[in-house]
Amino acid sequence: MTPDLRTTAAAAYAGAVAHLSRVQQDNGAFAGEVVWNPMLPCQYVILCHILGHAIPEARKARIRRALELQVRPDGGWGMHPDSPSYLFHTTLGYVALRLLGESPDDPLLADAKAWIEQHGGVWAIPTWGRIWLAMLGLYPWSSVQPLIPELWLMPDASPLHPRRLYCHMRLIYLGLSFVYGHRFVAPMDHTLAALRNELYPEGYDERRFARHVDDIAATDLFEAPSPGLRRAFAAMRRLERFTPKALRRRALARALEHIGFEHRSTGFVCLSPVNGMLFCLALHISDPRHPDLRKALAGLEYWFWEDDTQGLRIAGARSDIWDTAFLVQALAEWPESECARTIVADACRWLPTAQIQEEIVGGAAHYRSPAYGGWGFANEHHPWPVSDCTAEAAEALLRADFAGLCDDAGRLQRGRVLAALEFILRRQNDDGGFGSYEARRGSMALRRYNPAEIYGNCMLEYSYTECTGSCVRALAWIARSLGDDVGEDLAGRIRKSVKAGQQFLLGQQHESGAWLGFWGVNGTYGTMFATSGLLASGLGRSHPAIVRACRWLVETQRDDGGWGESYVGMLQNRPVALPDHVPSTATQTAWALLTLLEAAPHERAVIDRGIAMLAARQLPDGRWPDELATGVFFNTAVLDYVLYRQIFPAWALARYLHVTA
């Protein structure tokens, strides 16, 4: 470290703080867009067509604008901007544009249609795509894998009850099973009839669909249906012929009851827009004049990001609490300016308002885990709390309070801290790791019965490295904040939980020395959380696991001074560096620096090169430029957290200034 570099780092940090002050919301929160792919806007178009809900012309233009910006060079659309084209997304894109009134001769549609034809047509589209097409009469229900609603009538103790699934999959299955159980098909109209001819120029032959019933396009397939799942589908298809109509009606009624609860308990925003749109369809199918349908449609707007430049996007998640919690922790490490202190104080006044302060009435009957004391991923209007969101929010407030940065409105009282503690402890799995929304409920054998062929590891709650690191670290901070008042019984529970989390993390270290991420790309992300959690659990910097992790980071620093990993590593279950010609990312560089500054501050030359890279990459207005997306879920679904490349570099600079002070 040289005086010049420290001066440069201080100037970069001041610029970052100034920029962050300009994007802070009036309520004190930070809310960055979580950019995904065009799947959701396309499904929204299909939903509106089925419901007869007119889309304003300005919004139609924005949907097209987003599709124009996200199309791949080969004419298709992919899972994310850096992925190859998928049949699923390309087909939905083509159908949506036609339903918006675009001509099949339009170059955007003509290229998409050519891509579909070059890849064998629509026959082998994945299951979720088949269902959306089937609702339009563009795929026969007889060739859709059976997602039967009768499973909702099984005893709760059954190992196959849907309650055992990961909550996102559980609610998606809830909506899909309702639609499938009705075999709903929208009335055929001129556009749909034309689409049949365009998608199937060789003819809409149901016998050919039957020959492809178990086929999934190679462009889309990530996790092939297991032999057991294929046998289960075949058995259900045979048994469905003998399903009593009364039983089906009971199953559909039970599913609709669960859907109604999800609407009421979330103020109609639902867990995500994926299940939110399916639930709108369910209401329409049950009654086109359903009194809740208007509110359900309005609830979808919660997930929309819309402007004339980037078009209309529908985020798979909002991240207000997540972003704000990280930002508070970042600036609390070096609050040496009035601007930084003001940002933290304002954020701390908002963050407690997003903690869930009362239990969700009736939640247990609808398979909701206790929510009291938790924070979610989104904001105060989204009552689906998460383990690591709670951990990061609680730690952020405790860190800010410890640093004297928050007033009474931002200070968690003892009861609120205890509520967060109990919430976190309930998310720990038997293996010592922590789940996200819930502790795991089902046997790991269920992971082999994944009907969503384009995603992986999506059937169950797992024990996640990142969640475990966050929760262990927060438990240590909570124990510190409670001090001698914690009581021996509670102190013992905390020690036991931290020890179990520590052992889980030690067992998850990859042979490279990194910890692989599940929610971020990849080793730099997982390693940041695992290392901080292990240090908080009591391990020293000289522990072999910590040393191996830091050695991996040192060895993977790139020629430009930064770090950069490819999303391909999420597909191969190992760290994969970006190609040499692709620059490192500011986000992944910051993750690596945060780890080294905490665990190996003696690696000064490596750290200095990384800090210099961040400072050099920063724009004059204090921002870091757009770069490759670094968020992910279910292996294949890469997400661009827009604020990551602003918050984490600022945090790395803050820690650098603190460590070198």
Query: Catalytic residue numbers?
Result: 388
Quote the CA–CA distance of 441 and 462 in Å, as a whole number: 10
What is the token pair recorded at 211? 């020959």
Ramachandran angles phi, psi of 464, nearest 5°: -100, 135
Quote the CA–CA distance of 458 and 166 in Å, as a whole number: 7
Give the C-alpha distances (Å, rounded to integers) separating 406 from 14, 333, 345, 348.
20, 14, 5, 6
CA 635 to mean position of chain CA atoms: 11
Give the C-alpha distances (Å, rounded to integers) separating 346 from 223, 291, 325, 329, 406.
45, 39, 12, 13, 8
Which of 642, 82, 645, 648 lies closest to 317, judged by CA?
A: 642
Beta-bridged to residue 385, according to DSSP, are 376
Parallel, antiparallel, or unpaired: how do β-strands 631-633 and 637-641 relate?
antiparallel
- The neighbour count for residue 228, using CB atoms within 10 Å, is 11
H-helix segments, 287-404? 293-300, 320-332, 338-350, 387-402
71 neighbors 108 (Cβ within 8 angstroms)? yes
**DSSP secondary structure letter of residue 355:** S
Quote the CA–CA distance of 427 and 438 in Å, as a whole number: 5
What is the token pair recorded at 381? 């209007």
Which of 105, 82, 108, 77 lies closest to 92, judged by CA?
A: 77
385 neighbors 375 (Cβ within 8 angstroms)? yes
Quote the CA–CA distance of 464 and 379 in Å, as a whole number: 22
Quote the CA–CA distance of 640 and 520 in Å, as a whole number: 10
What is the token pair recorded at 257? 């009851």
| Terminal-residue alpha carbon distance, the chain | 11
Quote the CA–CA distance of 345 and 6 in Å, as a whole number: 26
CA 614 to mean position of chain CA atoms: 26
Quote the CA–CA distance of 440 and 450 in Å, as a whole number: 16
Cis peptide preceding 522, ω within 30 of 0: yes
Quote the CA–CA distance of 192 and 29 in Å, as a whole number: 44
Quote the CA–CA distance of 217 and 74 in Å, as a whole number: 17
Give the C-alpha distances (Å, rounded to integers) separating 121 from 19, 99, 636.
48, 19, 23
Which of 337, 291, 252, 245 lies closest to 11, judged by CA?
A: 337
Parallel, antiparallel, or unpaired: how do β-strands 385-386 and 375-376 relate?
antiparallel
Maximum C-alpha span of the chain: 80
Q: Which residues contact 257 (CB under 8 A, 6 or more apart)?
A: none
151 neighbors 162 (Cβ within 8 angstroms)? yes
Written as one letter, the residue type at 57 is: E
Quote the CA–CA distance of 539 and 600 in Å, as a whole number: 13
Quote the CA–CA distance of 518 and 466 in Å, as a whole number: 7
- The neighbour count for residue 118, using CB atoms within 10 Å, is 11
Quote the CA–CA distance of 244 and 585 in Å, as a whole number: 57
